[in-house]
Amino acid sequence: EVCRSEGVGTFPDPLSCDHFIMCLPGNWRAFPPHLMACPDGTRFDASLKICNYAANVPCRH
């Protein structure tokens, strides 16, 4: 589980370039990880921690 290993923050979804996982502070049972989708035409940019234009973000999926 990414939140247990990485802590609070936003992290790439290992299965999809246009999604990311948001880990919130607090008890992981009360605040489970959230799978978030980037808007159409964008991908999650792990270096900037934002959704960026797809042409600017390499994808391995």
> pLDDT digit string (tens) for 5-25?
888 999 999 999 999 999 988
Is residue 22 in a domain?
A: yes
Q: pLDDT band for 50, please (50, 70, 90 cuts).
A: very high
- pLDDT score for 32: 81
Using only C-alpha atoms, the chain has a radius of gyration, in whole angstroms, of 12
Burial code (b: 16+ CB inside 10 Å, e: under 16) for 39-55 equals eeebbbbeeeeebbebe
Is residue 46 in a domain?
A: yes
For residue 18, the enclosing domain spans: 2-56
Number of domains in the chain: 1
- pLDDT score for 60: 84
Is residue 61 in a domain?
A: no
Structure pTM?
0.85
Is residue 36 in a domain?
A: yes
Q: pLDDT band for 28, please (50, 70, 90 cuts).
A: low
Q: Terminal CA-to-CA distance of the chain, rounded, Å?
A: 20
- pLDDT of residue 29 exceeding 70, the answer is no
